[in-house]
Amino acid sequence: MSDHLRREDSDGTADRLSVFREQLDGLTRQTRRRSLVARAGIDFSSNDYIGLAGSERLADALRDALNNGVPVGAAGSRLLRGHTDPHAAFEDKAARFFGTEAALGFGGGYVANFAVITTLPQRGDLLLMDALSHASTHEGARAGRAEVQLFRHGDVDHARDLIQAWRRAGNTGAVWIAVESLYSMDGDAAPLDQLAELADQHGFLLVDEAHATGVYGPDGRGLAHHLEGRENVLTLHTLGKALGGSGALVCGAKCLIDFMINRCRPFIFATAPSPLMAVAGSEALDILRDEPWRRDALRDHVTVFGAELSRRLPQLSVSGSQIVPLIVGPESATMDLAARIQQRGFDVRGIRPPTVPEGTSRLRVSLTLNATPADVIRLAETLEQLWPDL
C-alpha cells in the first residue's frame, strides 16, 4: 500500500487525502497557498491589452454565428468530425495574416506550446531554451524526446557557446531554439534577429508571441513578423490575450503543420476548440487591421506610465512594454504592497516564486485599455505613496 494510504482516520479507515492535506498545509505555512479570487478594481493585471475581450464587434460576430447555425461545441477531435468550416476558414485566414504557409488551432497557449515541444524536436536533437521561458515550454521539454539545455536569459553568446559545445561532443541533430518574443514576467523582448541567425546555422527557431500578438508589428502581427514564412521558424499566437477570446495558433511551414496533424498527441486526441472561438479569432484579426487606434492608445499608456514612474520612483526600472515588472524582492513585502494597492481600487497582483526566481518577487503591472489615461497616472501616484513604506 502506498505511504499516503497507510495513515488512518480516527475511525480506522485509510486517509487517502492526507498527503494532499499536508502539502496544502505546507503551502499555507509558507504563505504560498493559492486561491481563486473574483476580479475587482481597475484592470492592471489581465492580458486583455487592447480591450478586445469586451469588444462589441466580437460579441456581434458570435451572435451572428450562433444565428447562422455555428455550434457552441465541436463535439469531437479535429480528426473525428470536430473539424468545422469556421476552424478551416480561421486557420487559412490566420496563415495569410501572419505570413506563413499554414496554421493550426489549439485550445490554449499552454497546450499549444507543450504540443510543439513534445512533437517536433526529435531524439538526437537539442532543445535550447531561454531560462525564463514559460512553464508550458519547460513542461514540454520534460515530456519531449530531445536533449534539453537552458541559456541565460536573452544571452545569444551563451546560446551559441552551448550549441558549439554540443556540436564538439559529436551531436549532429537539429537545434530547436525556444524563446518568447516578449517575456510575460519581465516585459522585455528577445533578440530575435540574432537567434534567427543561429537557427539558420543549426536548426529551428520557436517563438512564443503570446504577449506580442495584437500589440506589436504591422497590424499587430507580432515581434517576429519579419521572420514569418521561413521554413525553420515556427510561431505561436494566443487568442486569449490581446485577441480577446481563447485558444492559440501554431503558424509555420505546411510540412511542419502537417506533421503536427499526424503526430501531435495533444492535437490528435483532444476535442477541438469551440467553432465560436474560431469565429472570434477571425473577427479579432479584422479588428487589428481596422482599429489601429487601439495599439496607439496602448503605446500612450506605456509612455505615460514609464514617464510617471521615472519621475516619481527613479530607482525602479521600466520595461518599455505594456508589461511592467516592479521588483520588490521579499515575498511578504510584495504581497502586502499588492494588497494595499488593491485596497485603493487597482487590480495589481504580486508575483512570487516559483513563478519568478527566488528574491525577485514583484508587482506585475499590466497596462490595458481597460484603464483610462487618468487611471494610469493615479496608479503611479499610488505607487509613489506606498513604495516608501516598505
What is the reported pLDDT for 31? Answer: 81
For 351, other C-beta atoms within 10 Å of its C-beta total 22
What is the reported pLDDT for 261? Answer: 98
- Does 171 qualify as catalytic in the annotation? no
Q: Is the pLDDT of residue 6 over 80?
A: no
**Residues comprising the chain, all counted:** 390
- Confidence (pTM): 0.92
Report pLDDT digits (tens) over 146-184: 999 999 999 999 999 999 999 999 999 999 999 999 999
Catalytic-role residue among 125, 130, 180, 308 = 180
What is the reported pLDDT for 11? Answer: 62
CATH number of 292-390: 3.90.1150.10
Instruction: Report residue 129: phi and psi, to 5°.
Output: -110, 140
Closest CA to 175 of 151, 147, 203: 203
Q: Share the mean pLDDT of the chain.
A: 95
- Does 208 qualify as catalytic in the annotation? yes
Q: Is the pLDDT of residue 290 over 90?
A: yes
- Does 254 qualify as catalytic in the annotation? no
**Residue 70 per-residue DSSP state:** -
Tell me where in the chain the CATH 3.90.1150.10 domain(s) lie: 292-390
- Does 241 qualify as catalytic in the annotation? yes
Report pLDDT digits (tens) over 298-310: 999 999 999 999 9
What is the reported pLDDT for 287? Answer: 98
Provide the pLDDT confidence category of residue 9 given band limits of 50, 70 and 90.
low
Q: Is the pLDDT of residue 208 over 70?
A: yes
Catalytic-role residue among 87, 138, 202, 241 = 241
Report pLDDT digits (tens) over 36-48: 888 889 999 999 9
Buried b (16+ CB within 10 A) or exposed e, 170-206: eeebbbbbbbbbbbbbbbbbbebeebbebbeebbbbb
Tell me where in the chain the CATH 3.40.640.10 domain(s) lie: 56-289
> Which residues make beta-bridge pairs with 324?
365
Q: Is the pLDDT of residue 92 over 70?
A: yes
DSSP string, 242-290: TTSSS-EEEEE-HHHHHHHHHH-HHHHTSBPPPHHHHHHHHHHHHHHHH
What is the reported pLDDT for 2? Answer: 57
Side-chain half-sphere exposure of 150, counting CA atoms within 13 A: 11
Report pLDDT digits (tens) over 191-204: 999 999 999 999 99
Beta strands 147-151 and 175-180: pairing type?
unpaired
User: Does 264 or 7 have the greater pLDDT score?
Assistant: 264
Catalytic-role residue among 87, 138, 202, 211 = 211
CATH number of 56-289: 3.40.640.10
Q: Is the pLDDT of residue 190 over 70?
A: yes
What is the reported pLDDT for 40? Answer: 85
* Alpha carbon distance 191, 180 (integer Å): 10
Q: Is the peptide bond before 218 cis (omega within 30 degrees of 0)?
A: no
- Does 184 qualify as catalytic in the annotation? yes
Q: Is the pLDDT of residue 232 over 70?
A: yes
Catalytic-role residue among 208, 209, 228, 308 = 208
- As given in the structure block, the three cell numbers for residue 265 are 498527441
